[in-house]
Chain A
Amino acid sequence: MADAEAAKPKSGGARQCSVCNQKRAALKRPKTLQQICRDCFYSAFEEEVHNVIVGNQLFKRGERIAIGASGGKDSTVLAYVLSELNRRHNYGLDLFLLSVDEGITGYRDDSLETVQRNKIQYGLPLKVVSYKELYGWTMDEIVKMIGLKNNCTFCGVFRRQALDRGAAMLQVDKLATGHNADDVAETVLLNILRGDIARLSRCTSIVTGEDGPIPRCIYSPNAYRGFAREFIKDLERIRPRAILDIIKSGENFRISASTKMPEQGTCERCGYISSQKWCKACVLLEGLNQGLPKLGIGRTRGLNNDHKMDATQTSGSKPCGTLDF
């Protein structure tokens, strides 16, 4: 960014940092409305992340932790802050970078380069898993077959599993993902709009939660999610704390004990966690391989129903986790 002119204060507008009272404020924190300088923001941010890690006992000494790294800003910040805090507070963690190559021409090239830089900068080992090696299909090939409609379903489902499978290959205990406050608030709203009680109740929990990193890619210029994102950014402009307040609301939802939740089991085919007989990725993959790519898309639970395989398992549980955008 602009380093040459960085130090030059704006005449008239040079306000001091409300924390150190020494340096020029560089931003207004939406959370506190404090005007704060760059260094004080960094230390406040790092301190807050440390408190969340300690307060929620996220890690144990000696654990192996994979950091889901897309090369974007959020995961780059996550890689920096975890490696910095691990060193500073001596967590005793073994950290790894884990990236997914979806196989979208021109999309990941830049960001995988960024991940390579992260690897060198923070001295963390890097593992890249590709859709091609995991599923036998690149996203480019999937799009060629199914077109631009519904491809986000494939990408989102496959990515989440790809991270988990990569984590298994690295033999890590936990996977850390860089979801920011906007992401979580957006997901809370979406789950309310979709009436997805099961996801609403777990989407704000700090550990686990099966919604993967937000798929946003060249194949999806204006996905449903985009509207929720724009809405919360509009809200933020009116009331900067709105985003954190939505997350707070999501955390405070109490789901009545009589609501039937889908039971979590494992996929009979690949062993991955699934509330159905077959996990979503296996259903989608089966469709692709049979040349019936619409299987598993939309509200009919295609393959599972057709083969009468899930009759016992799903009876009585609410259909949840529809992935149609």
Chain B
Amino acid sequence: MKLTIEFGGGLELLCNSVKVHNVKVDPQDGEEKLTMKGLLSWVCKNLIKERPEMFMKGDTVRPGVLVLVNDCDWELSGQLETPLEEKDVVVFISTLHGG
């Protein structure tokens, strides 16, 4: 499915300073439907070019990284379990790098 993935607050530096990525992602690791969990592992493999520890900690994003799915904090949509749909927009913003 087609997704738009955006990085901000300094995270874009981990992907060659590209902020907006229009990508095609299929369900990951035997998932029937793509979830944020699958997307995170796809992003790590395909978009993050350096210092993945600045983005991930354990199996989720580092504390201090905001995740928005269609402009809504993923805490409200189920975090890693959030199901993704065609044309969803996922934004990652670091709050750890200065104001």
Residues of chain A whose beta carbon lies under 8 Å from any beta carbon of chain B: 1-2, 4-6, 8-13, 15, 24-28, 35, 38, 70, 72-75, 178-180, 182-183, 213-214, 216-217, 226, 229-230, 233-234, 236-237
Cα distance A12–B69 when bound, in Å? 13
Instruction: Report the minimum CB–CB distance from B43 to chain A (whole Å).
Output: 16
B: which residues have CB within 8 A of A?
4, 6, 8-9, 62-64, 68-73, 75-78, 82-83, 85, 87-89, 91, 95-99
Query: A27 near B98 (CB under 8 angstroms)?
Result: no
Interface contact B99-A214, CB-CB below 8 Å: yes
Pair B82/A234 contact, Cβ less than 8 Å: no
Residue in A1, A26, A229 whose CB lies within 8 Å of B96: A229
B96/A230 in contact, CB under 8 A: yes
Q: Is the CB of B99 within 8 A of A213?
A: yes
Instruction: Supply 19 further A-B pairs (C-beta < 8 A) apart from A1-B6, A2-B6, A216-B97.
Output: A1-B91, A2-B68, A2-B91, A5-B4, A5-B70, A5-B71, A5-B87, A5-B88, A5-B89, A6-B71, A10-B83, A13-B77, A24-B72, A28-B73, A28-B75, A28-B76, A70-B99, A213-B99, A233-B95
In the assembled complex, the Cα of A5 lies from the Cα of B72 at a distance in Å of: 11
Chain B residues positioned under 8 Å from A2 (CB to CB): 4, 6, 68, 70-71, 89, 91
In the bound assembly, the distance between CA atoms of A6 and B89 in angstroms comes to 8
Cβ B9 vs Cβ A26 within 8 A: no
Task: Say which residue of A12, A35, A38, A214 sits within 8 Å of B98 (CB atoms).
Answer: A214
List the 9 closest A-B pairs by CB distance, nearest first: A74-B99, A2-B89, A233-B63, A233-B64, A13-B77, A216-B98, A27-B73, A72-B99, A6-B71
B9 and A73 within 8 A (CB): yes
Q: Which residues of B contact A75 (CB under 8 A)?
A: 99
Contact between B99 and A233, CB atoms less than 8 A apart: no
* Interface contact A229-B71, CB-CB below 8 Å: no
Closest-by-CB residue of A relative to B78 is A13
Instruction: Give the complex CA separation of A70 and B4 in angstroms.
Output: 29
Residue pair A26, B72 in contact (C-beta under 8 Å): yes
Residue of A10, A15, A236 near B70 (CB, 8 A) is A10
**A229 surroundings in chain B (CB, below 8 A):** 64, 96
B32 CB → nearest A CB, Å: 15
Closest to B8 in A: A1
Q: Is the CB of A183 within 8 A of B99?
A: yes
**Distance of A139 from chain B, by nearest CB (Å):** 15
A264 and B66 alpha carbons, distance in the complex (Å): 41
**Cα–Cα distance between A154 and B78 once the two chains are bound (Å):** 44
CB distance from B30 to the nearest CB of A (A): 22
CB-nearest residue of chain A to B5 = A2
Of listed B71, B77, B88, B99, residue having the most chain A CB within 10 A? B99
CB distance A10 to B73 under 8 Å? no
Residue pair A35, B76 in contact (C-beta under 8 Å): yes
Q: Is the Cβ of A72 less than 8 Å from the Cβ of B72? A: no
